[in-house]
């Protein structure tokens, strides 16, 4: 059980009694269930945050059909564990929240079906939640950031976001693939393990890199392009000087190692993200940066962003892997905030939207 920071908002009155929500997340290869409580004093308490990951063999990604099957097989256990850890029953819940999108279609539908079934079985209101907004609201809650520029970086999304007039507005984004997808795909090329995640293993391999190889630096105003960088770094693996993992070589030889390529890829891509984030900070006059999403766990990204923020007299906020990586508790928290404004999702509209953009959400709980 973890007591979080005060979640009171000038627009959102503190509840007259404690409110409980179950959140279900399954937009990609993580299936999560979380239970959160919003207290009468305006604070929030994490009662449970359970997650199970679908991990494929090295060199392979995860297909929508197989991922959906994983979610269906594990949903009952993950939800039971969350409710048990929270010390509640399903009848105690005030609402059931699920990820409406964005994400992979089949996994989203599998989790939405579970949420609808539970809502009908226990006669509870259903709340569809935007995955991106879930990350942002959980990040704000955990870190205490007031009005930050948000860098949202994950396997499916790369966006620079700032809040204005009840909307999280997108200042810049990827024009093609997301940064997490870029890192994951390169991990498959060099045959890194997917356990615990390819991005984490790229980060560890990059720490051993000694050579910065030239890669395209592709910022387009406030946007970035990452597909060309991925093609370029993949090209180095076909160079005669490249030595794959496990192949011995003389350290004195002029070789390119997987560690060098991981290091170069991280440094180049993260520099681009820092640049567009700094532009957004300058535009809105903010001194806070909040990094959310699975790639936000990367310590090198946090370090580079921290250097930039410090030079501007600002501060970086980030969470650890419990809340950075996709999880059910962020869906529960954002859903309960929405529920407290009087919103719920009718069963006939409890569909999924694979391209549910961050700026399409009415953030009614903020001024």
**pLDDT digit string (tens) for 112-158?**
999 999 999 999 999 999 999 999 999 999 999 999 999 999 999 99
**pLDDT digit string (tens) for 73-87?**
999 999 999 999 999
Q: Is 34 annotated as a binding-site member?
A: no
pLDDT computed for residue 245 by the predictor: 85
Domain 147-321: CATH superfamily is ATPase, nucleotide binding domain (3.30.420.40)
Other CB atoms within 10 A of residue 247 CB:
10
pLDDT computed for residue 8 by the predictor: 43
Contacts 24+ apart (CB under 8 A), 229-232: 229/182, 229/265, 229/268, 229/269, 230/177, 230/182, 230/185, 230/186
* Mean per-residue pLDDT of the chain: 95
Q: Is 344 annotated as a binding-site member?
A: no
Q: For residue 101, what are the contacts with CB-CB under 8 A and spacing of at least 6?
A: 27, 108, 130, 131, 352, 353, 354, 355, 356
Angle of the 258-284 helix axis to the 227-236 helix axis, nearest 10: 160
Q: Is 152 annotated as a binding-site member?
A: yes
What residue segments make up the domains of the chain, in order of their start?
A: 19-138+324-360, 147-321
Sign of the C-alpha dihedral computed for residues 210, 234, 198 and 357 taken in this order: positive
Domain 19-138+324-360: CATH superfamily is ATPase, nucleotide binding domain (3.30.420.40)
Question: Rounded CA gap, 25 and 34, in Å?
Answer: 9
Q: Is 135 annotated as a binding-site member?
A: yes
Q: Is 153 annotated as a binding-site member?
A: yes
Q: Is 299 annotated as a binding-site member?
A: no
pLDDT computed for residue 5 by the predictor: 46
Other CB atoms within 10 A of residue 73 CB:
13
Closest CA to 295 of 314, 280, 273: 273
3-state percent helix, strand, coil for the chain, nearest multiple of 5: 40, 20, 35
Q: Is 298 annotated as a binding-site member?
A: yes
Distances (CA, A) of 120 to 114, 116, 126: 10, 6, 9
- Residue whose tokens read 């105003």: 221
**pLDDT digit string (tens) for 183-204?**
999 999 999 999 999 999 999 9
pLDDT computed for residue 252 by the predictor: 77
Same CATH topology for 19-138+324-360 and 147-321: the answer is yes
- Any idea what DSSP says for residue 174? B
Q: Is 14 annotated as a binding-site member?
A: no
pLDDT computed for residue 248 by the predictor: 85
Q: Is 156 annotated as a binding-site member?
A: yes
Closest CA to 233 of 208, 204, 202, 254: 202
pLDDT computed for residue 299 by the predictor: 97
Q: Is 154 annotated as a binding-site member?
A: yes
Q: Which residues of the chain have pLDDT under 70?
A: 1-10
């Amino acid at each position: 059980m973890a007591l979080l920071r005060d979640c009171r908002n000038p627009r959102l009155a503190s509840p007259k009694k404690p409110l409980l929500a179950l959140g279900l997340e399954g937009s990609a290869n993580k299936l999560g269930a979380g239970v959160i409580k919003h207290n009468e004093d305006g604070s929030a308490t994490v009662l449970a945050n359970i997650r199970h990951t679908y991990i494929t063999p090295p060199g392979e990604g995860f297909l929508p059909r197989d991922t959906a099957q994983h979610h269906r097989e594990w949903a009952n256990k993950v939800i039971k564990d969350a409710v048990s850890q929270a010390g509640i029953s399903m009848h105690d819940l005030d609402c059931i929240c699920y990820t409406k999108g964005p994400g992979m279609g089949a996994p989203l539908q599998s989790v939405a079906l579970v949420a609808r079934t539970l809502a009908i079985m226990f006669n509870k209101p259903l709340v569809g939640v935007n995955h991106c907004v879930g990350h942002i609201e959980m990040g704000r809650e955990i870190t205490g950031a007031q009005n930050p520029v948000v860098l949202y970086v994950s396997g499916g999304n790369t966006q620079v976001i700032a809040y204005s007039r009840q909307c999280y507005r997108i200042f810049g984004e990827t024009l093609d693939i997301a940064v997490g997808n870029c890192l994951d795909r390169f991990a498959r090329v060099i045959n890194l393990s997917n356990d615990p995640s390819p991005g984490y293993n790229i980060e560890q391999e990059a720490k051993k890199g000694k050579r910065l190889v030239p890669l395209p630096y592709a910022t387009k105003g406030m946007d970035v392009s990452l597909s060309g960088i991925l093609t370029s770094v993949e090209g180095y693996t076909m160079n005669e000087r490249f030595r794959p993992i496990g192949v011995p070589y003389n350290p004195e030889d002029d070789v390119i190692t997987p560690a060098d390529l991981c290091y170069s890829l991280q440094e180049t891509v993260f520099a681009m993200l820092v640049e567009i984030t700094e532009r957004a900070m300058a535009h809105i006059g903010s001194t806070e940066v909040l990094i959310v999403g699975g790639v936000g766990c990367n310590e090198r990204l946090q370090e580079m962003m921290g250097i930039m923020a410090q030079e501007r007299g600002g501060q970086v906020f980030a969470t650890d892997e419990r809340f950075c990586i996709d999880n059910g508790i962020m869906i529960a928290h954002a859903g309960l905030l929405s529920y407290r404004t009087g919103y719920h999702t009718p069963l006939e509209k409890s569909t999924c939207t694979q391209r549910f953009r961050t700026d399409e959400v009415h953030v009614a709980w903020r001024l």
